[in-house]
Amino acid sequence: MTDANYMQRAISLAEQGRGWTSPNPLVGCVIVKNGKIVAEAYHEKIGGWHAERNAILNSDTDLSGATAYVTLEPCCHHGRTPPCSDLLIERGIKKVFIGSRDPNPLVSGKGAKQLRAAGIEVVEDFMREECDKLNPIFFHYIQTKRPYVLMKYAMTADGKIATSTGESKWITGETARTKVQQTRHQYSAIMVGVETVLADNPMLNTRMPNAKQPVRVVCDSQLRTPLDCQLVQTAKEYRTVIATVCEDLQKIEQYRPLGVEVMVCKARNKRVDLDDLLQKLGEMQIDSLLIEGGSSLNFSALESGVVNRVHCYIAPKLVGGKQAKTPIGGEGIGDLSQAVKLKLVSMEMVGEDILIDYEIIPHL
Tell me if 170 is assigned to a ligand binding site.
Answer: yes
Tell me if 210 is assigned to a ligand binding site.
Answer: no
Of 33-42, 86-95, 330-339, the poorest mean pLDDT is in 330-339
Q: Pairing state of beta strands 267-268 and 288-291?
A: unpaired
Q: Is the pLDDT of residue 103 over 90?
A: no
> What are the helix (H) ranges across 145-206?
174-186, 194-200
The confidence score (pLDDT) of residue 71 equals 98
Percent of the chain with pLDDT over 90: 80
pLDDT tens digits, one per residue of 213-256: 999 999 999 999 999 999 999 999 999 999 999 999 999 999 99
Fold of 145-361: Dihydrofolate Reductase, subunit A (3.40.430)
The correct CATH number of 3-138 out of 3.40.50.1370, 3.20.20.150, 1.50.10.10, 3.40.140.10 is 3.40.140.10
Tell me if 296 is assigned to a ligand binding site.
Answer: yes
The confidence score (pLDDT) of residue 60 equals 87
Distance in angstroms (rounded) separating the CA atoms of residues 132 and 144: 17
The radius of gyration of the chain from alpha carbons, rounded to an integer in Å, stands at 23
pLDDT tens digits, one per residue of 124-177: 999 999 999 999 999 999 999 999 999 999 999 999 999 998 888 889 999 999
Domain parsing of the chain, residue ranges: 3-138, 145-361
Decide if 52 is catalytic.
Answer: yes
Mean pLDDT of the chain: 93
Tell me if 183 is assigned to a ligand binding site.
Answer: no
Tell me if 39 is assigned to a ligand binding site.
Answer: no
Catalytic residue among 40, 52, 73, 303: 52
> What are 103-108's contacts with CB under 8 Å, separation 24+?
103/139, 103/142, 103/143, 104/75, 104/142, 106/75, 106/76, 106/77, 106/79, 107/73, 107/74, 107/75, 107/76, 107/77, 108/73
